[in-house]
Structure 1
Amino acid sequence: MLLQLSAAELGRLIVARDGSAHLPLTEHLIREHSRIKGGAAGQGDVASWNNSIPIVVEALLDCGLDEVEVQVEVDLPHTNSAVDLVLCGKHPGTGADSYLAVELKQVRHATVDPLCPIAVDLGFGDGKNKLHPVRQIQRYCEYMLRYLPYLRENENSLTGVVLLHNAHDADVEALFGLPETDHGFLYTLDDLDRFRRVLTSRLATASGKQAAHALEQARQAPLLKVTDVARQRSVIGGGLTLLDEQYVAVDRITRHLEKTARFGSLDVGLFYHPDSAHGTTPQPGVKRVYILRGGPGSGKSAVALELQRTLGLKGREAVLASGSHAYTETLREIMLGTARRGRLADKRRAAHRLYRYFNSFSESPPDSIDVLICDEAHRMRRSSTYRWTPKELRDDDRPQATEVIRAAKVPIFLLDDHQSIRPDEVGTAMYLQRLAKEMGCEVEVTDLEGTFRAGGSKRYQRWVQQLLGLSSSDPVAWRPDGRMTLTVADSPEQMEHFIRERDLEGATARITAGFCWPWSNPDGERLVDDVQIGDWHRPWNVKPEHSVQGAPRSDLWSTDRRGIGQIGCVYTAQTFEYDWNGVIIGPDLLFRGGEFRVDRSASCDPAFRGPVDDATVTRCVLNAYHVLLTRGVVGTVVYAVDPATHNELRKLITGAIGMQHYDGAQPRLTAEGSQLPPAYRTRRR
């Protein structure tokens, strides 16, 4: 949140000053944005603060609601999305805490995509459709109710509205086609009197400070992990609350599939040229490929699972494929857990049909699968040939992606351009787009720009990419943003102590490391302590082809609590997330001359054996650490084996781990620093 003041206090800040381009309120918000978010505010934000907020403040003052508290840019839990305004006060009828979430838009004209009624062009001139503003505020309210139990105590405490204060009804008429709810009403310049009546119906002429404080201090429910979403899909209301472009992507695909129902087949409807969109009959034979691209924590896997769930509810079977053994086997295991007595074999067959690997489509007939969702598509290989492929079936020249596209009527790829970690992994958006077009397909690329990991910290994502040289900017010191805790451990022992304490508190916590130590087979029924740093030594997670009593299988390492006893590698950590993330940077990544450099001689990854050029090894190692550093939901602790690298990390990261007394108890390891969440800063007096 950037600012909280009463309507009366804000009223004094919206009086223009001579010689100033911005209102005093706008200048204050510009400074707060730079201080809190670590970057300059966008032109759209500045214009909204200067032109839109005063409309709401004046309406509050006109209604005598001077004491209502106004919160500006209120962050949604665990994500980088924010509600423009939340008005906090007392309900005029019940006296209970009452909240009005307001989404402000400066649009003057709007049109709705004829193929997708929740995708709209708001006239910003960027050529991109946005989520319908009414659906946007509805989803924001739903998200707040999901993750703020305090709001659920009174289901009528929260209302959502959209205010288009520059537009007349006639100029945005198409937007009124979307049904309104208590969490999403639409008002324009023609409706300002109705907007004021909403204010007085939801807010009393009383102080809103207590309500604002209660909302700010409300306990946040933990973020649903990918595996949580997978387990809850069979529960009514158990799906993911999608936001913004995530919602648009899923809705657009499912609506296109619905359009095919009247033709009785999936052979038409989705497969047409955009120029024929307004025709009565789509052109058959033109396949459309969807590519959804997003960074770590952008909701790719959750979107894939939600898309599969949504299609299943509509009677459409969708296959979910991946190149990750851990991910695929975890999903199969979750499905097997729902088997009724005597139906385990049937459920196993269904799990193997619905959750597959990228290399399992080489012999699939064309268009034999209705919808094929390829998650973790950055792990798409050059070809499906591997060491156990029979000689007569080997085809090193046929790209694996072409097999997938050919097999599916509707191919959908979800990927991150910076997460390919093996030399033969080639799944970038550009590569897939090129292959699909060569096959005569239409291609639609959507960027998932939000983040549901690292406390919703976009700054942390940028910082990791800068640190590893994956962006055009040089490494910079981490500036705490109140969302993500980042700290340095001074030894692997200290890291493990800290991570285990978080586990004992009930958080999910794991330690991972770069692949710089050998990975031995078990010694009988005992894992070998391969990861050795000084006197400290721990085993890697169990190899995929082995099992060891007391330790989880490799594909369950990220989700089985026993996984805290082993060190995870990138191949078991990728796709998954946990609350606290310990990362050991091995000697394969050295900070020299102001940047990270890869020392391939220190890597023990067997993927780099043979004729693999240095540039490819560098790409894979940097991407691997990009994966490892972005698994944490609440916080990340780092330690570098190389002393010079560790000292550079100390310079770049202000957080440290130290000993503190809590409530007279024995001292324990805690992360220290201003970036810590309040729960870790407070003591009883």
Structure 2
Amino acid sequence: MSDRARTEMANDRHTIPAQTTPPEQAPAGGVACAAAGSVGEIAALVGSPAFIARCVERYRASGFGNPDEGEVRSWRASWPPLFEALMRAGLSDLRVYLEYGTPGGGRRLDALLVGSAPGGGLTLVVVELKQWQTCRILDGGRVMRSDGVVTTHPVYQVAAYRSFFRYWRPEGAPRLELRAVVVLHDASAEQGAALGSAAPAFDDIPVLTAGDLTAPPAALARLLRCDDAGAVGRDQVAAFEGIRWAPSAGLLDHVGAVLAGKPAFALVGDQQDAFNRIRDKAAQSLRHAAAPPAAEPGSGGIPPGRGAVITVQGGPGSGKSALAVRLLSHFMREHPDASPRFITPSGTLRSHLLDATADHPGARELFPSASSLRSTASRARAIVIDEAQRMARSGGRMAPELAAVLDRVPLVVVFLDERQVIRPNEGVSVAEIDAYARATGRRHHSLALTGSFRCRGSKAYTDWVEDLLYGRPVPWTGQAGYDLGVCTDPFGLQEGVERATAAGDTARITAGFCWKWTPTRQSARTLPLDIRITSTPLAGGPRVWQAAWNASTALTTADGEPLAPASQLWASHSGGHQQVGCVYTAQGLEYHHSAVIIGPDLAWRDNRWTAHPAESHDARLRDLAPDEYLPLALNIYRVLLTRGTHTTRIHATDPETHHHLTTLINPNSLHTDHQAG
């Protein structure tokens, strides 16, 4: 990944969290932010507690969630010096937006200045504010703050924000002169110079420090990149706030080509047939529904008969996600006017898509978070939804966000697996979607993917897993060359994963959520060994295996070297093999060698599976009754057991369950204790 690309993956407070307020309750004008007005107006209020309270309310109403005390504290610390500098520089007539949220996207800008450009159009200056006094510069566009937290270099960060306006400006919008500046109001000139010199690719983005903010007015205006920006009138403000941001054709074509070229998204077997069928139905639907959906909820959905809903169901390894991504790629290149978007409730899958397209600035907004489905539905005419079964139900009905999309978007392609529901409040069925489509006059087409393209194409293995969990367990005899085995203890699992990793393969250990998970701070230099499993070998005393769950955030050593990837990239980024994942970080992904620990929450007793929710450490599940927990536990382990493309090794902590698995897996085939590669 290039240094520029790393700015797209910044994991900091500027990523918009789950939306808690419907977009229709956003402030008038459609601009999501904490405050908006002229520099002079806000400068007169910025120190007032009442103003901060109003910003908190508007922040919530914009769908950003509830700002924590640290966020509000940063406003109190950083806004006054910024506005003092703007006023001294004679910039009181510029328009300013605080905590500006990119429409439909996942970014928040500390401040956005808008002025009239000398040659017509508008000048936009993106401002990144930091309270840092010192930091240590690492490689790859990263810095380590004085508190030990490793984060994106602020120049790279603000450059990524600026790129949104460059790549999402639609035809007919005002001409935009795009600029950016970093303001470290507590830092020294030496620190600012070091940061600036560490980002030579962005030498047009100055890093201002405390001394710079005391420069004479004319010089200060130049440093702030606003010396030629003039006052904006009401018509210019309305024109800016009325821009319907949309990705450029070049961006869509580039990202579509990138996705199409990724080996992980290649199509084979019935995937290609399904792709052709969906492609043809999509073209028909988009032709018949040429008009975009209404812009505001309640103003009417698409007319009956003018839209299509396509459901695609398939089991683990059937290629749902690969097909979903290839469809998005196709829509981007062949139907750019449909403003195609890809949405998944799986944060892990979304993170991997962002990682795959990170080399092109502006790609992030093509993959909005699931919490923004309603607002996305007001702009997009083609939406691909993957892992739809993970969407939360409401009042016993399908997710209201999904219903809103079905109401308003002409083309909706929904991928789901009804047996991958892993929480009690989740789930949607093809039958439900069909009934809803019929009731609203939509055409519904249903397809199924029946192949298996994971597990070395071994449908025999996926069928064996289905029988093991939901039917009558049968012996495994090594069909189709898939490598399945059991390990007497977790040490054998770990040895196999380390051996496979050393050989250049991807290998991961996953487990049921049966041990506490301690969230890690970015400044942590070690991971808590939350998982402890005691085993008693045939010879010798008990052995205790200890391991760490995947880290909640990317961690580095004191020297800035990677220690652990962020949880959502645990399955693919280096170092992940040293931590244990769970269903939330493994679902939707795959790796060569899979090692699975079946915890005490699921046990084999009296020729049937029994559930023990009290053994779970998942707060959403542990208080369920056993009969409520059982189907979810079976679904969870079904996910974990079907991640490996070449090998699966299993260890069950319950002795009777482990014995049951041992008797099923033919000891004369590929099973050898302590062997996982």
Please give the range of the TM-score, normalised by the shorter of the 2 chains: 0.5 to 0.7
For 1:526 and 1:266, the matched residues in 2 are separated by 55
Partner of 2:383: 372
SS in 1 for 2:595: strand
Q: TM-score scaled by structure 1?
A: 0.54
Deviations, residues 456-478 of structure 1 (Å, cap 9, x unaligned): 11111111111112xxx311111
Matched to 2:526, the amino acid is R
Quick check: 1:296 aligned with 2:344? no
Using the TM superposition, give the Cα deviation of residue 253 of structure 1 relative to its aligned residue in structure 2, in angstroms. 2.4
Partner of 2:631: 619
Using the TM superposition, give the Cα deviation of residue 541 of structure 1 relative to its aligned residue in structure 2, in angstroms. 0.3
For 1:292 and 1:464, the matched residues in 2 are separated by 22
Matched to 1:537, the amino acid is Q
Partner of 1:146: none
For 2:270 and 2:480, the matched residues in 1 are separated by 25
Using the TM superposition, give the Cα deviation of residue 438 of structure 1 relative to its aligned residue in structure 2, in angstroms. 3.3
Using the TM superposition, give the Cα deviation of residue 241 of structure 1 relative to its aligned residue in structure 2, in angstroms. 4.4
Matched to 1:289, the amino acid is V
Partner of 2:530: 530
For 2:464 and 2:456, the matched residues in 1 are separated by 14
For 1:599 and 1:238, the matched residues in 2 are separated by 40
Deviations, residues 12-62 of structure 1 (Å, cap 9, x unaligned): xxxxxxxxxxxxxxxxxxxxxxxxxxxxxxxxxxxxxxxxxxxxxxxxxxx
SS in 1 for 2:423: coil
**Do the aligned partners of residues 544 and 236 (structure 1) sit closer, same or farther apart at CA in structure 2, a change above 3 Å counting?**
closer
RMSD: 3.1
Write out aligned runs for 1:208-607 (5 A). 233=258, 240-259=265-284, 265=290, 285-316=305-336, 317-336=339-358, 338-339=359-360, 344=361, 347=362, 350-351=363-364, 353-364=365-376, 366=378, 368-383=379-394, 399-469=400-470, 473-522=471-520, 524-534=524-534, 535-543=544-552, 550-607=563-620
**Do the aligned partners of residues 235 and 478 (structure 1) sit closer, same or farther apart at CA in structure 2, a change above 3 Å counting?**
closer
**Do the aligned partners of residues 468 and 308 (structure 1) sit closer, same or farther apart at CA in structure 2, a change above 3 Å counting?**
same
**Structure 1 spans left out of the alignment, 5+ residues:** 1-229, 269-281, 386-394, 660-668, 672-679, 681-685
Percent identity between the aligned chains?
32
SS in 2 for 1:460: helix
Matched to 1:312, the amino acid is M
Q: How many residue pairs were aligned?
A: 397
SS in 1 for 2:374: coil
For 2:303 and 2:520, the matched residues in 1 are separated by 58
Kept in 2, the 8 Å contact 1:378–1:415? The answer is yes
**Structure 2 spans left out of the alignment, 5+ residues:** 1-254, 294-301, 535-543
Kept in 2, the 8 Å contact 1:542–1:553? The answer is yes
Matched to 1:233, the amino acid is V
**Do the aligned partners of residues 514 and 283 (structure 1) sit closer, same or farther apart at CA in structure 2, a change above 3 Å counting?**
closer
Kept in 2, the 8 Å contact 1:521–1:527? The answer is no
Using the TM superposition, give the Cα deviation of residue 263 of structure 1 relative to its aligned residue in structure 2, in angstroms. 6.8
Matched to 2:650, the amino acid is V
For 2:410 and 2:286, the matched residues in 1 are separated by 14
Kept in 2, the 8 Å contact 1:405–1:411? The answer is yes
Deviations, residues 124-176 of structure 1 (Å, cap 9, x unaligned): xxxxxxxxxxxxxxxxxxxxxxxxxxxxxxxxxxxxxxxxxxxxxxxxxxxxx
For 1:374 and 1:445, the matched residues in 2 are separated by 14
Write out aligned runs for 1:33-182 (5 A). none
**Do the aligned partners of residues 615 and 412 (structure 1) sit closer, same or farther apart at CA in structure 2, a change above 3 Å counting?**
farther
**Do the aligned partners of residues 370 and 397 (structure 1) sit closer, same or farther apart at CA in structure 2, a change above 3 Å counting?**
closer
Using the TM superposition, give the Cα deviation of residue 261 of structure 1 relative to its aligned residue in structure 2, in angstroms. 7.1
**Do the aligned partners of residues 577 and 357 (structure 1) sit closer, same or farther apart at CA in structure 2, a change above 3 Å counting?**
same
Using the TM superposition, give the Cα deviation of residue 311 of structure 1 relative to its aligned residue in structure 2, in angstroms. 1.8
Kept in 1, the 8 Å contact 2:437–2:444? The answer is yes
For 1:234 and 1:290, the matched residues in 2 are separated by 21
SS in 2 for 1:432: helix
Q: TM-score scaled by structure 2?
A: 0.54
Quick check: 1:650 aligned with 2:657? no
For 2:291 and 2:618, the matched residues in 1 are separated by 43
**Do the aligned partners of residues 573 and 590 (structure 1) sit closer, same or farther apart at CA in structure 2, a change above 3 Å counting?**
same
Kept in 1, the 8 Å contact 2:342–2:366? The answer is yes
Using the TM superposition, give the Cα deviation of residue 435 of structure 1 relative to its aligned residue in structure 2, in angstroms. 3.0
For 1:547 and 1:603, the matched residues in 2 are separated by 30
Kept in 2, the 8 Å contact 1:558–1:578? The answer is yes
Matched to 2:514, the amino acid is C
**Do the aligned partners of residues 261 and 426 (structure 1) sit closer, same or farther apart at CA in structure 2, a change above 3 Å counting?**
closer
Q: Say which is worse superposed, 421-430 or 289-298, in terms of deviation.
A: 421-430
SS in 2 for 1:582: strand
Using the TM superposition, give the Cα deviation of residue 330 of structure 1 relative to its aligned residue in structure 2, in angstroms. 1.7
**Do the aligned partners of residues 355 and 616 (structure 1) sit closer, same or farther apart at CA in structure 2, a change above 3 Å counting?**
farther
For 2:642 and 2:603, the matched residues in 1 are separated by 19
Using the TM superposition, give the Cα deviation of residue 542 of structure 1 relative to its aligned residue in structure 2, in angstroms. 1.1
Matched to 2:427, the amino acid is V
Deviations, residues 336-384 of structure 1 (Å, cap 9, x unaligned): 2x13xxxx4xx2xx31x21123331234555x3111101111112114x
For 1:397 and 1:454, the matched residues in 2 are separated by 32
**Do the aligned partners of residues 651 and 236 (structure 1) sit closer, same or farther apart at CA in structure 2, a change above 3 Å counting?**
closer
Kept in 2, the 8 Å contact 1:233–1:239? The answer is no
For 2:488 and 2:609, the matched residues in 1 are separated by 20
**Do the aligned partners of residues 433 and 617 (structure 1) sit closer, same or farther apart at CA in structure 2, a change above 3 Å counting?**
farther
Deviations, residues 424-477 of structure 1 (Å, cap 9, x unaligned): 1112322333333333322211110111011111111111111112xxx31111
Kept in 2, the 8 Å contact 1:475–1:594? The answer is no
Using the TM superposition, give the Cα deviation of residue 334 of structure 1 relative to its aligned residue in structure 2, in angstroms. 2.1
For 2:599 and 2:263, the matched residues in 1 are separated by 40
**Do the aligned partners of residues 551 and 244 (structure 1) sit closer, same or farther apart at CA in structure 2, a change above 3 Å counting?**
closer
SS in 1 for 2:479: coil
For 1:420 and 1:658, the matched residues in 2 are separated by 33
Using the TM superposition, give the Cα deviation of residue 232 of structure 1 relative to its aligned residue in structure 2, in angstroms. 7.4
